[in-house]
Amino acid sequence: MSTQSDPALDTPSFARRERADLADLFDTVGQDAPTLCAGWNTSDLVAHLVVREGHPSAAGLVLPPLSGWMHSQQERLAAKPYAGLVERFRQGPPAWSLMRLPGAESALNTFEHFVHHEDVRRAQPSWVARDLTGDDQRTLWDQLARRIRLFVRKSPVPVRIQAPSLGSVSVGDTDQPSAVTLTGDPAELVLYLHGRRDQATIALEGTAESVERWQRHRLAV
């Protein structure tokens, strides 16, 4: 007896689709294209992504004493043939990587791949905003809502973020006059809270003093 697969189960995750699309974009723009990551071109960015999920020095992302080792490995890889690096990224983490564990792709790569995909897209002069599906926006919103305290933990004012038709989450007493509200599509909120303030389209509301204090502080990405 034949069985029929469930199309929903066969659909790649948002993180996996962003990986594939970013790899294709790396191929399209080439190794010297600009990105929104200060000081990095596409060779530097793809080297970072390969090190992050395929080299022990990636521990430098969370252990400052190892950051020098990590950066040296990124520089070494960035000097290697670009096409090979892109293909390594496209194929995903090596078999031994913790990022192969169940659930790791969604938890660790949804924001990473989406944000860096936009880092390349929005650094190009002819970029236009993508029209993400409602499901993809929901995926970004659900993860952002769960992690919002991580992103605004250093905020000098209470913060509310809201996405039309999806909801809102707050950190601090947002009934206080010092609160600020960030409103936008989840994709734009994710980019903004990852430090792409000038490239993301959001509405920022609050008193002049609160907005100034918020804009002065450094986002805790």
SS3 per residue for the chain? CCCCCCHHHHCCCHHHHHHHHHHHHHHHHCCCCECCCCCCEHHHHHHHHHHHHHCHHHHHHCCHHHHHHHHHHHHHHHCCCHHHHHHHHHHCCCCCCHHHCCCHHHHHHHHHHHHHHHHHHCCCCCCCCCCCCHHHHHHHHHHHHHHHHHHCCCCCCCEEEEECCCEEEEECCCCCCCCEEEECCHHHHHHHHCCCCCCCCCEEECCHHHHHHHHHCCCCC
Question: 180-190: buried (b, 16+ CB within 10 Å) or exposed (e) per residue?
Answer: bbbbbbbbbbb
Same domain, 38 and 115: yes
Q: Are 143 and 166 in contact (CB under 8 A)?
A: no
Establish if 40 belongs to a structural domain: yes
pLDDT value at residue 23: 98
Which of 86, 121, 156 finishes a domain? 121
Establish if 53 belongs to a structural domain: yes
pLDDT value at residue 206: 97
Establish if 37 belongs to a structural domain: yes
Q: Give Dmax (Cα) for the chain.
A: 69
The amino acid occupying position 107 is: A
- Tell me the pLDDT of the chain (221 aa) as tens digits: 444 434 444 578 999 999 999 999 999 999 999 999 999 999 999 999 999 998 888 888 888 899 999 999 999 999 999 999 999 999 999 988 888 888 889 999 999 999 999 999 999 998 999 999 999 999 999 999 999 999 999 999 999 999 998 999 999 999 999 999 999 999 999 999 999 999 999 999 999 999 999 999 988 76
pLDDT value at residue 126: 87
pLDDT value at residue 10: 55
pLDDT value at residue 61: 86
Question: Which structural domain, as residue segments, surrounds residue 19?
Answer: 10-121
Same domain, 89 and 171: no
Same domain, 113 and 23: yes
